[in-house]
Amino acid sequence: MRVKTQRSVSDIHRKDRTIWLAVPINKISNSFADAVADIPSGASIMIGGFGGAGGQPTRLMMALRELGVGDLTIIGNVAGISKTTGYGWPDHLYPIDQGMFFESGQATKIICSFPVPGTTNPLSEIEKAWREGNAQVDIVPQGTLIERIRAAGAGIPAFYTPTGVGTPVAEGKEHREFNGRTYLLEQALTADFALIRAQKADARGNLQYIGTSRAFNPAMATAAKVTIVEVDEIVEIGGIDPERVGTLSTYVNRIVQREAGDPLP
Amino acid sequence: MRVKTQRSVSDIHRKDRTIWLAVPINKISNSFADAVADIPSGASIMIGGFGGAGGQPTRLMMALRELGVGDLTIIGNVAGISKTTGYGWPDHLYPIDQGMFFESGQATKIICSFPVPGTTNPLSEIEKAWREGNAQVDIVPQGTLIERIRAAGAGIPAFYTPTGVGTPVAEGKEHREFNGRTYLLEQALTADFALIRAQKADARGNLQYIGTSRAFNPAMATAAKVTIVEVDEIVEIGGIDPERVGTLSTYVNRIVQREAGDPLP
Amino acid sequence: MNVTPAIVGNDPAPRLNRAAIAKRAARDLVDGSTVNLGIGIPALCADFLPNGVELLYHAENGILGFKELSAPGEGDPNLMDAGGKFPKLVPGMAFFDSVESFNLIRGGHIDVTVLGALQVSRNGDLANWMIPKRGIGSIGGAMDLAANAKRVVIAMEHTARGDITKIVNECTFPLTAPGCVDEIITDIAVIKIDRENGRMILRETAPGWSFADVQARTEVTLDTVGEVGLMA
Amino acid sequence: MNVTPAIVGNDPAPRLNRAAIAKRAARDLVDGSTVNLGIGIPALCADFLPNGVELLYHAENGILGFKELSAPGEGDPNLMDAGGKFPKLVPGMAFFDSVESFNLIRGGHIDVTVLGALQVSRNGDLANWMIPKRGIGSIGGAMDLAANAKRVVIAMEHTARGDITKIVNECTFPLTAPGCVDEIITDIAVIKIDRENGRMILRETAPGWSFADVQARTEVTLDTVGEVGLMA
């Protein structure tokens, strides 16, 4: 346990309560391995961030790779292009991306918006797996992808969007006119687990993001059955400005704190 | 002009630009009267906040009342109940609410979620106008109302929601099943103008909100053809933390700053 | 309109007051739950939580984690709850806009909502937003909450003025949501709704009240499963 | 696949380089606009804004108001643009999540997007996300931008390797969005698309290039309206 169990400042005004809020304690996992231990083969897994190091739950991904379960469906955005192109990683670091699950043979499918870079030299792990017939790749326009994820968390089973009309992504989808423009019906996209990344969590599970590390993380937190978050720091309740809470504690099931000074971004 | 026109800190790195960003200057109105002067009779007008003093664009509303145009459609949430019940107003202040446009005869329709209090003694201005046949009142579930407004700003013409199925609000609407549950089709809701309230604007039009004053303001800012914002303070570019921007400057057309020490909340 | 008055005699014992109804409703709230309390009796639940239970209160206007209200005259208009009251600023709160607030509700993330009612039917239909003869009403967040919260509890007086039954075979008032209510807690009884079988099961009665006394004030024919307990 | 090579001879004069294409595209950008620049030539526009023009740059990953990049080795992974580069923190920026970012795009709030293209058709169809023979491609934000920005400008080389025409009567590559392109700026010409009439109007040519020279490298029969200007 990395969180201090002393009474928080929020207890000042309580008179008749003897047990300190039980929920936040239960949400904190002791290790990345513990946090992902119950992910079964065949699971669908959202992986947060945008693509690149910032906002990517890199340690959770590495724990999932270590776990070794297979037949996974990965849901991400820009996916698997950092290793070969350096996309979104500082120059001096060796990039880690979702391609690792295709390299290891754990993933059989990815739903994402940007699975391959412009170049094929060298081939990304995802394109390699796809060419060898080992991976299904569903390419979704980014705005549609994030809106489908958001819809799943927001209780919206389906919505209409103008994006993709007249393109291959429209094939097989309902078309409908509103005010003279044609739209596609798109459906909510949920998952068994969301692995996300935030800067800070408080002990209750409220999350604070920084800069462009938000991206897909806040929506994914709302959309999966189980949301697991990797943070740089866990703070006491009250340690996050109520104006800066980017994900409400209600959405968060598990929190793991990185080692201080972890060299990975 | 209340904003200083000296070069902002954002200019430090610029070499070849001689004119300071023109857009923010143009967005600032000198008075509430100026800011609403072009609102015509027959306009549809979103009024931000939740209901109650916090987040309500009270000075813009008073300017619109002063302007005197008629046949208005008002879109709000909790509407017109503060005057008779004190809802959401500090005890010592005389409440101002959207009922003013029905008392003045300017509004002929309201689209909202909560137009009347539990009691009829005394009657609210909206109920009075409705009873006298002078106002159409469209009552929309709050979650559907905000999602319809959000959809208008987000380019979503329509979406399905579970809320309202089996109730009077479902009448005449398309019903559709997804995964065994029945949903209603609801359509985007736009307006000619949005009058909203924020704590701060920077000179470019980025807005910062405080506490529960967000409510309907951020979504309305995206949904109307013209968005006019009442703020307590206009600050230089850089005066709002980039992590705290609640409405992007792109959505904001006009900004008016309240007088320092304005006694109205 | 077809409101059937129940066949009643004199009350056999005092009915619980509003605070006692709230206290009974509060007893079932589970530590750590995200909870939305409606105005009126439901809002009083917050004053009667059992020892060791802390809830995350959600209000539609965009706040999670509030606790007690500010002293009169000290409220901040920018820190309001959905009832138009002004809670204190406490650590762990979160503020958000109405879009996010209703994502939380519509998305099924509210563990329990406690609401008031005008009528509840045997299959759990809820009517609480409009009295037909008034012709105008207010929905607010009630339809979203009733249709989408994981658990819907009604805390209300058992009958309307004149001993008119509010627990009815079919609602005659406009619905808030069909088939949504899990449990009703009133000033004389606790009734669980078995929605799948369209049954109402009397679980508890107020002190001094018998099954028959409650049944006489309830249009729906009540069932029991095992013993009927005492409200406390 | 049915890619028609244009009938060409030797180039009459040098083609503009990538920077010069970007500079010409930048000339049309209006002060204060909210702009999204695609990767490649479009991204270079930022380096060539006319005096007095300041743009609000939007990137899909959730940032508005960025300017120049950090020095190599000084980038912060939490302050990235959509091309995976690291801009500096400057006053007036705003950070937001992908939901908000695509509300801005899909909702039609982007004033101009400048994108690259593989093919553009005479009625403004755009293909820029997949080469058919590769069988896999990346859409990213391109479909949302192309379908929904108020104005879509293509900045690209006029022909593909081997002088294959990219400005075609009908796209043979998978579309990004139909009927979306307003203007094409290439290394030899500026072409406006009159979508309503399915016409392409040659507005400017690079120095030393005639109408006939550009036409020879363009599958679509080009129109002119008034004089053809010189790209500068």
Q: pLDDT of A129-164, one tens digit each?
A: 999 999 999 999 999 999 999 999 999 999 999 999
Mean pLDDT of D98-105: 98
Evaluate whether A245 touches B212 at the Cβ level (below 8 Å): no
Mean pLDDT of C122-133: 97
The H or E element containing residue A222 is: helix A217-223
ipTM of the complex: 0.95
Instruction: Delimit the domains of chain C by residue range.
Output: 18-230
Q: What is the pLDDT of residue A91?
A: 86
Q: What is the pLDDT of residue B104?
A: 98
- The predicted-structure confidence for D20-38, as pLDDT tens digits, reads as follows 999 999 999 999 999 999 9
Is the pLDDT confidence value at B61 over 80?
yes
- The predicted-structure confidence for C191-227, as pLDDT tens digits, reads as follows 999 999 999 999 999 999 999 999 999 999 999 999 9
A104: DSSP letter: T
By three-state DSSP, how is residue D102 classified?
A: helix
Mean pLDDT of B188-213: 98
- The predicted-structure confidence for A99-108, as pLDDT tens digits, reads as follows 999 999 999 9
Q: What is the distance in angstroms between the Cα of B217 and the nearest Cα belonging to chain C?
A: 8
Is the pLDDT confidence value at D5 over 60?
no
The confidence band for C73, taking pLDDT boundaries of 50, 70 and 90, is confident
Percent pLDDT > 90 in chain C is: 92
The confidence band for B24, taking pLDDT boundaries of 50, 70 and 90, is very low
Sign of dihedral through CA atoms C200, C201, C207, C210? positive
Is the pLDDT confidence value at A193 over 50?
yes
Q: What are phi and psi of B144, to 5 degrees?
A: -70, -40
- The predicted-structure confidence for D176-226, as pLDDT tens digits, reads as follows 999 999 999 999 999 999 999 999 999 999 999 999 999 999 999 999 999
- Torsion on CA atoms B165, B166, B170, B176, rounded to nearest 10: 50
State pTM to two decimals: 0.94
Residue of A160, A175, A212 to mutate, interface with B, max B Cβ within 10 Å: A160
- Of A16-30, A221-235, D199-213, least confident by mean pLDDT is A16-30
D100 vs D94: CA distance, rounded Å: 11
- Torsion on CA atoms C154, C158, C159, C161, rounded to nearest 10: -90
Contacts of B94 (CB under 8 A, 6+ apart): none
Cβ separation A92–D72 shorter than 8 A: no
The confidence band for C5, taking pLDDT boundaries of 50, 70 and 90, is very low
- The predicted-structure confidence for B209-264, as pLDDT tens digits, reads as follows 999 999 999 999 999 999 999 999 999 999 999 999 999 999 999 999 999 999 99
Mean pLDDT of B89-115: 96
Is the pLDDT confidence value at D11 over 90?
yes
The confidence band for D8, taking pLDDT boundaries of 50, 70 and 90, is low
| Class at the top of the CATH hierarchy for domain C18-230 | alpha beta
Burial class (CB in 10 A: 0-12, 13-18, 19+), D136: middle
What domains appear along chain A, each with residue ranges and CATH number? Answer: 25-159+189-257 (3.40.1080.10)
Q: What is the pLDDT of residue A54?
A: 97
Q: Is D54 a catalytic residue?
A: no
Q: What is the mean pLDDT of chain C?
A: 94
C17 vs B221: CA distance, rounded Å: 45
Mean pLDDT of A122-130: 97
Cβ separation D61–A50 shorter than 8 A: yes
Cβ separation D103–B245 shorter than 8 A: no
Chain B residues close to C84, C-beta within 8 Å? 51-52, 78, 82, 85-89
> Which residue has 């590495």 as its token pair?
A62
CA distances D112 to B208, C29, C45, D57, Å, are: 26, 53, 53, 10
Residue of B147, B150, B159 to mutate, interface with A, max A Cβ within 10 Å: B159
Q: What is the pLDDT of residue D170?
A: 97
Is the pLDDT confidence value at B47 over 70?
yes
Q: What is the pLDDT of residue C8?
A: 61
Is the pLDDT confidence value at A1 over 50?
no
C220: DSSP letter: S
Cβ separation C92–A206 shorter than 8 A: yes
Query: Residue A29's closest CA among A195, A221, A246, A208?
Result: A195
Chains that touch B (3 or more CB pairs under 8 A): A, C, D
Q: What is the distance in angstroms between the Cα of A248 and the nearest Cα belonging to chain B?
A: 15
